[in-house]
Amino acid sequence: MGRVGPAFLAYDNFQAYLGWNASLVYSTTAAYLATRIAGAKPLRRGAPNIPVLGAAQVMELQQLLVRHGFATAKPDGKLGLTTRAGVRLAQMKVGLPADSYPTPELIERLRRP
């Protein structure tokens, strides 16, 4: 959820989760559940009203990333590691904080010629 969402401290063993399932959302959820089962306190939710892109917006973002040279994978509407890496590079290029979290603001800036 970017710079305004909750933060997680991950150690090398987090790679085991990603090796089992490469989805960051799934792996983070599984790791968080494990810490809760072990007795950890609930996480702090972060800022309210964090924008979440729908599949159509992710697809447009991916197309824009390809057009601007920030990604090479075929757009599929899924927010994976390749898309997040492209988002980070695009954020740096347009002057946004490089947190790899896609936002409507990034899409708007990439739409500009």
Contact 10, 31 (CB under 8 A): yes
Mean pLDDT by 10 residues, the chain (113 residues): 76 88 87 94 80 93 96 89 94 95 96 89
> Does the residue 5 lie in any domain?
no
Q: Which residue range(s) make up the domain with 85?
A: 55-111
pLDDT at residue number 37: 97
Q: What is the pTM of this model?
A: 0.71
pLDDT at residue number 59: 96
Q: In angstroms, how far is CA 61 from the centroid of its own chain? A: 12
Tally of domains within the chain: 2
> Does the residue 94 lie in any domain?
yes
> Does the residue 49 lie in any domain?
no
In this structure, is the dihedral angle defined by the CA atoms of residues 109, 50, 100 and 95, taken in order, positive or negative? positive
Angle, helices 55-67/104-111, rounded to nearest 10 degrees: 40
> Does the residue 61 lie in any domain?
yes
Backbone angles phi and psi of 30, in degrees to 5: -65, -45
* Pair of tokens at residue 89: 């590079």
pLDDT at residue number 88: 96
pLDDT at residue number 92: 97
